[in-house]
């Protein structure tokens, strides 16, 4: 992965393996929805752990969980992840790693937030209700079903870089606009099967929970997001078109 002079890069459609010489920076993307009622008291301890291990990037913490992307040495990332797991409210979580030869982030931040991914709708709880997870190996069959409407939950500038065949672009500038798109363009009585996807999975946790609350019964989302799909599905079988936008140097 190469850095750009702006605040973004495009992800390769092929996984990059770790090499201690050429790709010695580990980039870890993580999130977890959980009951994190005392999150405020963990801002400083998490920040200090990152600083002590020379780990950069941004972590967002809120009463609904944790979300972010961090980068550093193999040992530094392992130490930070181990500390996060030691926090009772967080515990175990899944994360995705990629590797690069240059530090992609400039700063180290831990931010207190109302939401770890901002939709701006009260009482949307992925811990209570969420869409059905679909593994990358089963995704092509699902989105090839003519009865399924496929929705890209990302913002327009991300969709323009790449998306799945036949995916609908809601033309949103921010995730906050997604509920308005649903209200105007989708109908539970008409759209019986809805499949959704995003970069790493977190936006779909919120969007499918929201859709379920709005009365859509058959709601699916791509487990692990686009990044997991590109990692697991051979190019010869892929229904992805273009590149995948990911963030870099964003803090």
- Residues forming the active site: 198
- Show contacts of 229-232: CB within 8 Å, 24+ apart: 229/136, 229/139, 229/197, 230/11, 230/13, 230/14, 230/15, 231/15, 231/136, 232/136, 232/137
For residue 58, CA distances in Å to 4, 64, 193 come to 18, 17, 35
Instruction: Compute the 3-state secondary structure of the chain and give helix, strand, coil in percent, each to the nearest 5.
Output: 30, 30, 45
Give Cα 140 distance to the centre of its chain.
20
Taking every pair of Cα atoms in the chain, the longest distance, rounded to a whole number of angstroms, is 56
Question: What DSSP line would sit under 41-62, residue for residue?
Answer: GGHHHHHHHHHHTT-EEEEEEE
Residue with tokens 């930070």: 80
- Looking at the chain, how many residues does it have? 251
């Amino acid at each position: 992965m190469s850095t750009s002079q702006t605040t973004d890069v495009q992800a390769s459609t092929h996984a990059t393996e770790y090499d201690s010489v050429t790709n010695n920076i580990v980039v870890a993307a993580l999130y977890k929805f959980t009951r994190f009622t005392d999150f405020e008291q963990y801002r400083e301890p998490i920040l200090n752990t990152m600083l002590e291990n020379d780990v950069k990037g941004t972590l967002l913490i809120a009463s609904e969980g944790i979300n972010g992307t961090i980068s550093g040495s193999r040992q530094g990332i392992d130490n930070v992840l181990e500390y996060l797991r030691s926090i009772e409210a967080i515990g175990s979580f899944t994360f995705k790693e990629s590797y690069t030869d240059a530090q992609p982030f400039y700063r180290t931040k831990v931010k207190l937030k109302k939401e770890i991914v901002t939709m701006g709708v009260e009482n949307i709880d992925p811990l209570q209700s969420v869409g059905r997870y679909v593994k990358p190996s089963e995704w092509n069959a699902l989105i090839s079903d003519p009865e399924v409407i496929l929705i890209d939950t990302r913002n327009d500038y991300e969709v323009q870089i790449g998306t799945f065949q036949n995916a609908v672009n809601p033309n949103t500038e921010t995730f906050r606009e997604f509920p308005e798109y649903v209200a105007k363009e989708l109908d539970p009585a008409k759209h019986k099967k809805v499949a959704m996807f995003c970069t790493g999975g977190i936006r779909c946790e919120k969007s499918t929970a929201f859709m379920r609350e709005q009365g859509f019964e058959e709601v699916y989302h791509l487990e692990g997001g686009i990044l997991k799909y590109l990692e697991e599905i051979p190019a010869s079988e892929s229904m992805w078109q273009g590149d995948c936008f990911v963030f870099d140097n964003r803090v």
